[in-house]
Amino acid sequence: MMARNTIIQGDCLTILRTLPDKSVDSIITDPPYGIDYQSASRTDKTKRKPKIANDKSPFIWWMYDAFRVLKDHGPLICFTRYDTEEDFRLSWLSLKWRSGVLR
């Protein structure tokens, strides 16, 4: 059992799978948006950072486990970008429908 007011930071694909069903009050996440992003792309090429992993298409694979561990009526805040928002929204609705949340 987790202590009250615990913040967990890490790779969601690893951490979410270790958590029991309906054990998390809220989730805040900033997954890869699917835009093949590379920071500092407009500056000196020697200062560029590596591209973000799994960023060729909107990264939605964490959602199933997120809905599984989230308590009923718990908020899920997901940052995205204007041009990929609809992909995230449709994936979210599809998973919620399949999991029985939207029946």
Q: How confident is the model at residue 40 (pLDDT cuts 50, 70, 90)?
A: low
Residue whose pair of structure tokens reads 């790779």 in the numeric block: 11
Structure tokens at 64: 């199933």
Rounded-to-5 percentages of helix, strand, coil across the chain: 30, 10, 60
Kindly list the distances between the CA atom of residue 3 and the CA atoms of 7, 12, 19, 103, in Å, as whole numbers in the listed order: 10, 19, 13, 32
Q: 36: pLDDT confidence band, cut at 50, 70 and 90?
A: confident
Please state, in angstroms and rounded to a whole number, the distance separating the CA atoms of residues 103 and 85: 23
- The region of weakest confidence among 30-34, 45-49, 63-67, 74-78 is 45-49
Extract the tokens encoding 63: 């959602």
pLDDT at 48: 75
pTM: 0.71
